[in-house]
Chains A and B, each alone.
Chain A
Amino acid sequence: MSIEILMPALSPTMTEGKISKWLKAVGDTIKSGDVIAEIETDKATMEVEAVDEGVLGSILVPEGTENVAVNAPIAVLLQDGEAAGTAPTHHAAPAAAPVPTPAATPASAPAAAAAVPVVEAEPEWTGPMLKQTVREALRDAMAEEMRRDDNVYLQGEEVAQYNGAYKISQGLLDEFGDRRVIDTPITEIGFTGLAVGAAFTGLRPIVEFMTFNFAMQAIDHIINSAAKTLYMSGGQLGCPIVFRGPNGVASRVGAQHSQCYASWYAHCPGLKVVAPYFASDAKGLLKASIRDPNPVIFLEHELVYGQTHDVPDNPDWIVPIGKARVARVGSQVTLIAFSRGVQFALEAAEALAGEGISAEVIDLRTIRPLDVETILTSVRKTNRAVTIEEGWAFAGIGAEIAATVMEKAFDWLDAPVIRVAGADVPLPYAANLEALALPHVADIVAAAKTVCYR
C-alpha cells in the first residue's frame, strides 16, 4: 500500500510553508532518514527526512510552491512491488491535530480551585503552657519530628557544628549526629537541588537558608523542580520538603539582606507558604510543614527569634496549615498581618482602642493557601480592612487580599482597603532612612483611622 508523505510542521507555530526544493526524484529509492526535500517555514529553511521507506512514486506539490498547508499530501511513496501510478491510498489518514478545548476562563478557576478542603483550626489548648522563645520552639519542632521519622533530616549552612547561624538548630547535631544534621558548603542552588532530589525519593529534608535572601540563588529548584514536578508527573513524584529560614528585614544589614519574599512564593501553585509570628504557631506549623507531603516555604523572622511566648507543653501540638487566627477580636476595622507584622498590628489595635476604635487583628499564619473565609468573615463584620506587610506593596500580599476582599465582599466594604507596606525602594542602611522605609505601628494606626473616616 502506498504511503502519502505529508507536509510536516517543523516548528511549534508553523501552519504552512514553502517547498523550496525536492532533493529526491520520482523513481528514487528512499530510506528512512534520507533527506527528501527542503521546506521554508515561518522561521527557517529546514530539511525533511523520510520516515518510511520505499520508492518515490510521485511528487504532488512541485518545488517553489508556497503556502502549502501542514498535513497536505506532498508526495507518494510506493511500497515493495508497487508500480508508479497506483492510486495513493490513504495511510491512516492523520487525525486532525487535537484542537485544545479552551480552558474554562481562568477567572472562573477559583470555583474549581476553591475545592481546597476547609481547614479545621487546631483545638483551643487548655493544658499547661511553657514559656519559650520562637527560636526554641522551632528547634523543638524539628527535634520532635526527627525523633518521630528517620526520613526527616536537616541540612544547611552552619546548621550542625556551629549550631545554626541564628542558633535555631542548637543541640540537634548532638542528638541526631552528622547523618541527619548536615553542614553544607555555601552552595545554595546545589544543595537545594540535592534536597529536592532526595525528597523525590521520599526523604523529608528540612532545608535551612541562612536567610531567604540567599534562596534567590536556589529559586529555580524551589519553583521549577519542587513546586511543579508533582503536576508535570501526573501526580507520581511528590516533594515533601520544608524550606525555612529568616525572611524580611533584620537590622541595619542593607538591601541585599533585607527583603520579604512572601509574595514571591505565594504567587506559585504547588507551594505552601507559612509565616507565623507566635512561638506556639512557629512550633505547631513547622511540625505540620515537616509532615506535609508538599513543598512548604516556612518564613521566619530574625527580629522575632528572641521573643518569648506561651507554647503548649505537648509534643503532639500541631497547627494546621491554611488556617488564620483572630489574634484580637474587634468590631470596627480589620487589621490583616503576618509574621512580625502581627506584633505591630496588635500594638496598633491597642493604641486604637485608646482612641475609641475597636480593631480586629487577623494573624494569617499561612499565606498560601490563604484563609479567605476568616478574612471575609471579619470584613463582613467590620466593613473595613488594613493590610500590613514589610515587603513592597506592588503585587504584594496586601494587593492580593485587597483584590480578594473587593471580589468577594465588595458590598460589605465601607472604605477602600489600605495597604501598609514597605517603601518602594531597596532597603537603605542609614538608621533614619531604614526607619522611614519600614511600616510602623503609627502607620497602621493612621491607616485604620483613615478607613474609619476619623
Chain B
Amino acid sequence: MVVKRKPKTAAAAASAAPEPISNDQEIAFYRDMLLIRRFEEKAGQLYGMGLIGGFCHLYIGQEAVVVGMQSAAGKGDSVITSYRDHGHMLVCGMDPKGVMAELTGRATGYSRGKGGSMHMFSREANFYGGHGIVGAQVPLGTGIAFANKYRGTDRVSLVYLGDGAVNQGQVYESFNMAALWKLPVIYVIENNKYGMGTSVERASASHDLYVRAAPYGIPGCQVDGMDVLAVHKVAREAIAHVRSGAGPYVIEAQTYRYRGHSMSDPAKYRTKEEVAQMRQEHDPIDLVRRRLIETLEVTEDVLKQIDREIKEIVTEAAEFAQSSPEPDPAELWTDVLIEA
C-alpha cells in the first residue's frame, strides 16, 4: 500500500530524504514485534488456564503498527490507546513481568492488580493507558497534547484508536480542537477491518478512514500496517510535522488481528481463508524475517538467538505473573482518592 497523500509542510519536505534504515534497526523491529507476538501468545495460554480473567484483547497480527510508530518517537513523547494495549506497553519499554502480572491480577502488576488487561498505566514510560471505553482515549490524548503545548515543550502525544472508534463523536470533537489549537498530536487509526464483529464496510459510510480528519484540515495518510518499515517511514514524517508545531496528523494503518476481538470471540464474521491468507502472505514478522535473511544477509543463527532471548523473557514474565502474590485485601480501599 502506498501513502496516498503527502503532508504539505516544510517538515515533511525536510524528511523527504530520510536516513536509511540500518540493519540493526530492522533487527530491533523484528525483536520488538516478536516480543509482542510471543507475549500475547503466552497471555492467551494463561487465559486458557484461567489465570487471566475477564476481557483480554490480543494484539497478534498488528505488531508492525505500534513498533513502526514508536520507533520514530522520541523521549518524552507519550502514548495512549484503547483496551488492546499490551503491545503498546511493551514497546513503550514497560517491563513484561509487570504487564503480565497485571493480567493475572497480582500485586506486582503495573496497577497493583486493580486495573487488569484494559487499564494499565506507567507514568515513567509516558504510557497513559489502557482505556476501556471505545474512543475515550482520543480526547484524553488530545489533552496530553494540550498540556505539552501549554508547558511549551515539543513533546508529541501519540493517540491510537481502532476502526471501531472512528465512529464515536468525541473523536471528531477532538479533531476539531486539535486542529483549531494546533495541538501536537498524532492520531494513529489501527484499521484491523473489524470493530468486534462488524466490518468497516458495515459500520462506516466511507471506508478510507484517514480522510475523516480532512474536513478539519488535518493532513493524513494511509499506510500498510503489516509492513513495519512503511509504518516507520510515515511515522517519521508525521512526527516531524507535528513536532514542528504544524498541528495534528492522522495515520491510518491498515492492519489485521489474527485472533478474535477478545478471547471469547469465535470470530465467525470472517472466513478462515481470509485469516489464513493474511497470516501466510502479510505476516509482519515473517516479512521482516525474510527481508533480514534474503536481502540484508542476516544469518538464521542471529535470529534464532533473538527467538531464544524473547522466549526467555516471556517465560520469565509468565512465571513472575503466576508466582507473585495477589494484592493485599487492604488494597481494596487504597487509591480511591489522593490524601490532600
Roughly how many angstroms separate A43 CA and B131 CA in the complex, as a whole number? 26
From B18-26, B84-92, B167-175, B200-208, the one touching the partner chain is B167-175
Is there contact, CB below 8 Å, between B139 and A194? yes
Count chain A CB atoms within 10 A of each CB in B44, B112, B337, B338 and give the residue with the most. B337
Contact partner, B338, options A41, A187, A293, A321, Cβ 8 Å: A293
> What's the nearest-Cβ distance from chain B to residue A241, in Å?
10
Measured CB to CB, the nearest residue on chain A to B38 is A32
Is there contact, CB below 8 Å, between A9 and B329? no
B53 contacts A by Cβ under 8 Å = yes
Roughly how many angstroms separate A172 CA and B289 CA in the complex, as a whole number? 59
Assuming the contacts A47-B266, A194-B177, A230-B337, asked whether A201 and B147 have C-beta atoms less than 8 A apart, the reply is yes
**Chain B residues positioned under 8 Å from A6 (CB to CB):** 48-49
> What's the nearest-Cβ distance from chain B to residue A118, in Å?
13
Is there contact, CB below 8 Å, between B147 and A198? yes
Please provide the chain A residues from 400 to 441 with a CB less than 8 Å away from any CB of chain B in the complex: none
Assuming the contacts A200-B128, A238-B338, asked whether A97 and B51 have C-beta atoms less than 8 A apart, the reply is yes
B302 contacts A by Cβ under 8 Å = no
B336 contacts A by Cβ under 8 Å = yes
Measured CB to CB, the nearest residue on chain A to B150 is A203
Contact with A along B98-124 (1 / 0, CB 8 A): 000000110001111111000111110
B334 contacts A by Cβ under 8 Å = yes
Assuming the contacts A117-B339, A190-B177, A294-B338, asked whether A224 and B114 have C-beta atoms less than 8 A apart, the reply is no
> What's the nearest-Cβ distance from chain B to residue A31, in Å?
11
**Chain B residues positioned under 8 Å from A221 (CB to CB):** 136, 139-140
**Chain B residues positioned under 8 Å from A195 (CB to CB):** 143
A101 contacts B by Cβ under 8 Å = yes
Assuming the contacts A203-B150, A234-B114, asked whether A197 and B141 have C-beta atoms less than 8 A apart, the reply is yes
Is there contact, CB below 8 Å, between A194 and B133? no
A193 contacts B by Cβ under 8 Å = yes
Is there contact, CB below 8 Å, between A8 and B48? yes
Roughly how many angstroms separate A191 CA and B181 CA in the complex, as a whole number? 12
> What's the nearest-Cβ distance from chain A to residue B283, in Å?
9
Roughly how many angstroms separate A92 CA and B42 CA in the complex, as a whole number? 14
> What's the nearest-Cβ distance from chain A to residue B299, in Å?
21
Contact partner, B143, options A115, A196, A234, Cβ 8 Å: A196
B199 contacts A by Cβ under 8 Å = no
Count chain B CB atoms within 10 A of each CB in A51, A95, A231 and give the residue with the most. A231
Roughly how many angstroms separate A293 CA and B121 CA in the complex, as a whole number? 18
**Chain A residues positioned under 8 Å from B42 (CB to CB):** 51
A63 contacts B by Cβ under 8 Å = no
Roughly how many angstroms separate A104 CA and B331 CA in the complex, as a whole number? 12
A132 contacts B by Cβ under 8 Å = no
Is there contact, CB below 8 Å, between A270 and B337? yes
B95 contacts A by Cβ under 8 Å = no
Measured CB to CB, the nearest residue on chain A to B264 is A11
Please provide the chain B residues from 241 to 279 with a CB less than 8 Å away from any CB of chain A in the complex: 258-260, 263-266, 268, 279
**Chain A residues positioned under 8 Å from B150 (CB to CB):** 153, 179, 198, 203
When A and B form their complex, what is the total count of cross-chain residue pairs whose Cβ atoms lie within 8 Å? 224
**Chain B residues positioned under 8 Å from A10 (CB to CB):** 48, 263-264
Measured CB to CB, the nearest residue on chain A to B112 is A234
Contact with A along B310-340 (1 / 0, CB 8 A): 0000000001001000100110111111111
Is there contact, CB below 8 Å, between A71 and B49? yes
A356 contacts B by Cβ under 8 Å = no
Measured CB to CB, the nearest residue on chain A to B146 is A198
Contact with A along B161-203 (1 / 0, CB 8 A): 0000000011001101100100000000000000000000000
Roughly how many angstroms separate A113 CA and B129 CA in the complex, as a whole number? 27
Roughly how many angstroms separate A229 CA and B138 CA in the complex, as a whole number? 15
Please provide the chain A residues from 20 to 72 with a CB less than 8 Å away from any CB of chain B in the complex: 32-33, 41, 43-49, 51, 70-71
**Chain B residues positioned under 8 Å from A294 (CB to CB):** 337-338, 340
Roughly how many angstroms separate A293 CA and B338 CA in the complex, as a whole number? 6
**Chain A residues positioned under 8 Å from B156 (CB to CB):** none
Measured CB to CB, the nearest residue on chain A to B279 is A33
Is there contact, CB below 8 Å, between B143 and A197? yes
Is there contact, CB below 8 Å, between A112 and B333? yes
Roughly how many angstroms separate A185 CA and B169 CA in the complex, as a whole number? 14
Count chain B CB atoms within 10 A of each CB in A49, A115, A199, A291 and give the residue with the most. A49
A225 contacts B by Cβ under 8 Å = yes
Is there contact, CB below 8 Å, between A270 and B336? yes
Is there contact, CB below 8 Å, between A230 and B170? no
Contact with B along A213-233 (1 / 0, CB 8 A): 000000011001100011111
Please provide the chain A residues from 261 to 318 with a CB less than 8 Å away from any CB of chain B in the complex: 269-270, 272, 291-294
A123 contacts B by Cβ under 8 Å = no
Please provide the chain B residues from 44 to 59 with a CB less than 8 Å away from any CB of chain A in the complex: 44-45, 47-51, 53-55
> What's the nearest-Cβ distance from chain B to residue A305, in Å?
27
> What's the nearest-Cβ distance from chain B to residue A149, in Å?
13
B132 contacts A by Cβ under 8 Å = yes
B41 contacts A by Cβ under 8 Å = yes
Of all A-B residue pairs in the complex, the 5 with the closest CB atoms, nearest first, are: A197-B143, A190-B173, A193-B139, A8-B48, A97-B50
Q: Which residues of A contact B (CB under 8 A)?
A: 6-12, 14, 32-33, 41, 43-49, 51, 70-71, 92, 94-98, 100-101, 103-104, 109, 112-113, 115, 117, 153, 179, 184-185, 187, 189-203, 220-221, 224-225, 229-238, 269-270, 272, 291-294, 321
Q: Which residues of B contact A (CB under 8 A)?
A: 41-42, 44-45, 47-51, 53-55, 78, 80, 104-105, 109-115, 119-123, 128-133, 136, 138-144, 146-148, 150, 169-170, 173-174, 176-177, 180, 258-260, 263-266, 268, 279, 319, 322, 326, 329-330, 332-340
Can you name 19 A-B residue pairings with CB atoms under 8 Å? A9-B50, A11-B264, A14-B264, A94-B50, A95-B51, A97-B53, A190-B177, A193-B173, A197-B80, A197-B128, A198-B144, A201-B147, A225-B136, A230-B336, A232-B119, A234-B113, A269-B336, A270-B336, A294-B337
In addition to A190-B174, A234-B110, 6 A-B residue pairs with Cβ atoms within 8 Å of each other are A190-B142, A193-B174, A197-B140, A220-B133, A236-B110, A292-B340
